[in-house]
Structure 1
Amino acid sequence: IQGDGFFILKDNHGATLYTRAGNFQVDVSGYLVTPSGERVQGWMEGADGTVNTNTAIGDIRIPVGTLKTPIATTEFSLDLNLDAGAVAGQPDGTFSTSVEVVDSLGASHILTVTFTKTANAGEWDYEITIAGADVGSSNATEQLATGTITFDSNGQLSSPASSSPAVNFDITGLANGAADMKLDWYLYTSAGAPRLTQYRHASALSAVEQNGIAPASLIRVAVGDGGRILAQYSNGHQRVVGYLALASIRNPDSLIAVGNNNFQTSARTALPAVGLPDTGGRGKVSGGALESSTVDIAKEFTNLIVYQRGYQVNSRVVVAADELSQETINLKR
C-alpha cells in the first residue's frame, strides 16, 4: 500500500482485522487469505460478469479451474493492402487470407476471404468461404458471401462507401449443432478510415480482429495495481474478476496489534471508511511490490551518534564523580 489504508480481513470467528501486509495466498477452498488464514475482504464479480463496488464487501473467492463461457463471433475486420500493380488472370491478381471465428459452442471455424483482380482499374471481387464439413456439406468449401470493392486514384477504398461500413452475411446449418451465426465484416474503422488499401506494394495482411472468445480454463489469478484481481485464462485472455477493499482509519495509532501483522480496533479507534484503493484519501495498491520501510536511515544514524556522544559524556561525569569521592576519602584519612 502506497499511502494510508489497511487491507480488511475476517478471522475464523467473524471478527474484522486490519493489515498492511499484502502477502496473500489462495487456500484449498479458493479463498484469498493471509498466511495465518484470515480471509481477505473485497468485491467479486456477480452472475452478470460485472463487479459492483457499491455493495457490501465479502470474502474473495477465486474460481480457479473454472471454465469461461465462449462468446460467439459477431464481427471481424481485416487490415490489408492489395497490390495496385496486380494484373487480372495473373498470379498476383489473386490474394487470399483467413480469419478464425468462434460459434456459440466455442468451436472455431476458418473463413477464407479471396480477392480477385478484375479487368477494371481499382476493382477487385471478393468471396468468403467456409469448409464444407463445418456446415454439413460434401463440398470442399461453401460460399458465404461475394461482392466487389473499388479503390479510388489515391488507393483508398471508395466502394462500399463508409456510410455502409460492413458486409453482412450468415453461417447457417453448422454441423456441430451450434446456433446460426450472423457476421459483420467491417471494411472501415469506427472513425471512418478504410481498412483496405490499394498501393503499389505486394498484397499482404497487416492485422486481423474478431470479437469471439473460445472457452478457456482459469489458470492464474494475481492482484494487480489498484487492487484489481486479474484472472488469466488458458486462451491468453485476462479480465478483472474482483477488487480488494481498503479501509482508511483517521487515528491508526489507536489500533491494537494482535499478531501476524494484524490489528483490531479499540474503543478509541475512529470508524473505518471502506472503499476502493486510491479513492477518498486511501493509498494506492501496487501488485507484486514490497512496502518500503518508513524509517529514515540518515536520521537514525544521526540519533545514534548523538546518543553515543551523550553516553560518553555521561560516563566521564561518572568517572569524575568517582575520582572526587576518592579524593575526599583520602583527605579524611
Structure 2
Amino acid sequence: MSSIWTGVSGLLTYSQGIATTGNNLANVNTVGYKSSRMLFADMISTMAGGTSDGSQIGTGVQVGSIALQTEVGSLQDASNSTDLAITGERGYFVVKDAANDKTYYTRAGDFNFDKNGNLMSATGCNVQGWAVDQDAILKAKRNNVILSEVPTTGTVTDITIKDFTIDPQATGTMEVVTNLDSQSSVGELDATDPYFTMFKNYDATNDTPVADSDYQATIKIYDSNGVAHTATVYYSKTSDNSGKEYWEYMVTVPPEEDGSATTSGTTKAGVLMVGTLTFSAQGVLENQTAFTPNGSDPTSLSNWTQASLTSSGVPEFSATFKSASNGSALPSQTIAFKTGLSATDGSWNSGSAANAGAIGTNAALNIGYNPSSTLNAVYCTTNYATSSYTQTSSQDGYAKGEMTATNVDENGVIWGSFTNGQTKALYVLALADFTNPTDLYRNGNNLLSPTTESGKATVGRANSGVFDSIAGNTLESSNVDMASEMVNLIINQRAFQANSKVVTTAESLMETALQIKK
C-alpha cells in the first residue's frame, strides 16, 4: 500500500517541477524576469519490517525548495531613454503601488513618464528616488567646490517632473581668463591716478565709452528675467616696474542697460568693477585689486571701495539691470568675477588700499591679496609675450528653457536637457539590496517583496557601496536558459512517467493479493 503513496508523491512533486520549468519557459521574453530553480528532497523513511539493523524504506519525494535565480540576464539596447537596466546582481529598482501604498522591488526597468510627469513602471507603479538639491549644486559651483556625487534632499519619494521648463537663472559667477601681451606698450597715463587711466577717461555719453584699452573680452551674462546682457572686460597696461607688470581692468555693461541708482545717468554708467592686476617677471598673475562703487559720486575714485570677497576669495560686484519690458530697475544681483587668482584666506591684505583713489602713483599699493595666501587656478590670467587672447570664459546664468529630453547616467541620476542649452540633474534613482534575494516573494507583474528569509531592503544609490551601476537606453532580458530548461523538462517528464509506472505496478500487486484472498 505504501508503494502507491510513494509513487503518488513522485507524481505530485514532478508535476510541480514541470510547472516550474513551464513557468520559466513562459517568461523567457519577460523583461527582468528571474528564473526559478526547484530542488527535491526525500520524505521521512520508515523502518523496514523484519530487520534488526535499523534498515529504512523511503516513502517518496517532496519539493525541497524553489529559489529565485539572481544571475543577470543579457542586456539589450532599447530606444527609450528611460528604459533602464542594472548592470550586476546587486540592486533592484524601488517602485510603489499607489492603489495599496505598498513598496515593491523589480529588475524590470521598462519605465516611462505618464501625462502627469510621473515616472511609472510598465505595470503602473511609481518609480522611487530622491529629489536633487539644486541649491547645494549652485552653491558648490559658485564656490569652486567639486562634488563627489549629485546631492539629494528629503526622503525617497515618487519621481515626478511637475514642470518641464527650467526657470531663468541670474548670473552669479563670471569667469574671464585671458593672456595679456607683455609686449604691449604703455600709453599716456593720468598724472594723478595712472593705474586707473582707462576708468578716468571712460565716458558713458560717448558712442564708444572706452577708447584706450589694449584688449577687451566679452561675455553674455543674464539678469533675473533671463535676458542676456553683454559684459565687456577692458584691459590696459599701466606700467612695467622693477620686473613686474601692472594692468588696469574694468568690468562694464552697456550704459543704457545699467539700472544702478549710483552709476546710472552718470558718465560712469555701465561700470561695475575696476581694479589692477600684478604680474611677475615670468608672466604669472601674482596679485589683484578690485573696487566697486560705495553709493556716492561714482566719478570720484575715492568712492570706489574694496569689493567684497566670496568665501573662496574671489571679488564680487553688484549689477542692477533695467527691465527689457518697461525699463524699470530689476533687483540687484551679486556676481563673482574670476580671473583665475583667489585668496585662500578669503580676505584682503590689511595694508592694501581701501579705495581706488588711495593707490595714486604708488605701485606698491596694488597689492590686494596677502602674497602668502594667493592661489592660481589651472586656468589663470597670464602675461606672456604673445598676442592678447581669451583663454576661457564662462558664466552660470541662463534664460528660461523647455525640456527636450531626459537621460539617466550610470549613477542613476536623471538629467533633463533644455532648449537653452542647459542640463539639469532632476532626480536620483533609489536601488535596494537584500541579504538573501533568492528568497524574495513573487507578487506577479515583475514585482518582488521581501520575506523573513530574504531580509529587509537596504536602500542606496547606483554605483556606490555594494550597488551596481545603471545602464540607460537598455533593458535586462530574462535570465532563463532555454537549453537547460528543456533538459529539465525532459528529466521531469521521464521521472513523472516512471512514478506513474510505480503506481500502476503497486495497483497490480494489490489486485493479485485480493485474488489470493478469494
Q: Return the TM-score normalized by structure 2.
A: 0.49
Separation in structure 1 between the aligned mates of residue 385 and residue 286 of structure 2, nearest angstrom: 17
Q: How does 1:56-205 map to 2 (within 5 A)?
A: 57-70=156-169, 72-88=170-186, 94-118=214-238, 120=240, 122-135=245-258, 142-160=270-288, 166-172=314-320, 174=322, 175-190=327-342, 192-193=375-376, 195-205=380-390
What is the CA distance between 1:173 and its match in structure 2? Answer: 6.0
Q: 1:69 to 1:169 in 2, by over 3 A?
A: closer
Q: 2:439 — aligned with what? A: 254
Separation in structure 1 between the aligned mates of residue 466 and residue 238 of structure 2, nearest angstrom: 65
What is the CA distance between 1:61 and its match in structure 2? Answer: 0.9
Separation in structure 1 between the aligned mates of residue 105 and residue 396 of structure 2, nearest angstrom: 42
The alignment partner of 1:104 has SS state of coil
Separation in structure 1 between the aligned mates of residue 429 and residue 238 of structure 2, nearest angstrom: 60
What is the CA distance between 1:135 and its match in structure 2? Answer: 1.9
Indicate the larger mover: 122-131 or 77-86. 122-131
Q: Does the aligned pair in 2 maintain the 1:63–1:218 contact within 8 Å?
A: no
What is the CA distance between 1:266 and its match in structure 2? Answer: 6.0
Separation in structure 1 between the aligned mates of residue 442 and residue 246 of structure 2, nearest angstrom: 77
Q: 2:127 — aligned with what? A: 40
Q: Does the aligned pair in 2 maintain the 1:68–1:218 contact within 8 Å?
A: no
Q: Does the aligned pair in 1 maintain the 2:314–2:341 contact within 8 Å?
A: no
Q: 1:132 to 1:12 in 2, by over 3 A?
A: same
Separation in structure 2 between the aligned mates of residue 278 and residue 127 of structure 1, nearest angstrom: 46
Q: 1:279 to 1:211 in 2, by over 3 A?
A: closer
What is the CA distance between 1:33 and its match in structure 2? Answer: 0.8
The alignment partner of 2:161 has SS state of coil
The alignment partner of 1:196 has SS state of coil
Q: 2:421 — aligned with what? A: 236
What is the CA distance between 1:200 and its match in structure 2? Answer: 1.4
Q: 2:114 — aligned with what? A: 27
Separation in structure 2 between the aligned mates of residue 172 and residue 279 of structure 1, nearest angstrom: 44
Separation in structure 2 between the aligned mates of residue 218 and residue 292 of structure 1, nearest angstrom: 30
Letter of the 1:129 counterpart: T
What is the CA distance between 1:44 and its match in structure 2? Answer: 2.5
Is 1:287 the equivalent of 2:472?
yes
Q: 1:17 — aligned with what? A: 104
Q: 1:22 to 1:77 in 2, by over 3 A?
A: same
Identity %: 29
* Bigger radius of gyration among the two: 2
Letter of the 2:318 counterpart: D
What is the CA distance between 1:211 and its match in structure 2? Answer: 3.5
Letter of the 2:226 counterpart: G
Q: Does the aligned pair in 2 maintain the 1:46–1:52 contact within 8 Å?
A: yes
What is the CA distance between 1:34 and its match in structure 2? Answer: 1.5
The alignment partner of 2:253 has SS state of strand
Q: 1:7 — aligned with what? A: 93
Indicate the larger mover: 279-288 or 37-46. 279-288
Separation in structure 2 between the aligned mates of residue 23 and residue 123 of structure 1, nearest angstrom: 62
Q: 1:150 to 1:261 in 2, by over 3 A?
A: same
Q: For each residue in 1:124-169, what CA deviation from the matched residue of structure 2 results, as whole angstroms up to 9, or x when unmatched?
A: 333332112212567896333334434332122344279x965554
Q: 1:117 to 1:217 in 2, by over 3 A?
A: same
Q: Does the aligned pair in 1 maintain the 2:276–2:289 contact within 8 Å?
A: no
Q: For each residue in 1:258-284, what CA deviation from the matched residue of structure 2 results, as whole angstroms up to 9, or x when unmatched?
A: 444333456765333333335564433
The alignment partner of 2:256 has SS state of helix
Indicate the larger mover: 179-188 or 204-213. 179-188
Q: 1:325 — aligned with what? A: none
Q: Does the aligned pair in 1 maintain the 2:257–2:270 contact within 8 Å?
A: no
Separation in structure 2 between the aligned mates of residue 250 and residue 51 of structure 1, nearest angstrom: 26
**Structure 1 residues without counterparts, runs of 5 or longer:** 312-333
Separation in structure 1 between the aligned mates of residue 157 and residue 315 of structure 2, nearest angstrom: 47
Q: 1:124 to 1:266 in 2, by over 3 A?
A: closer
* Larger fraction in helix: 2
Q: 2:300 — aligned with what? A: none
The one of 438, 448, 451 equivalent to 1:263 is 448
Q: 1:60 to 1:78 in 2, by over 3 A?
A: same
Q: Does the aligned pair in 2 maintain the 1:224–1:288 contact within 8 Å?
A: no
Letter of the 1:238 counterpart: T
Q: 2:152 — aligned with what? A: 51
Q: Does the aligned pair in 2 maintain the 1:87–1:93 contact within 8 Å?
A: no
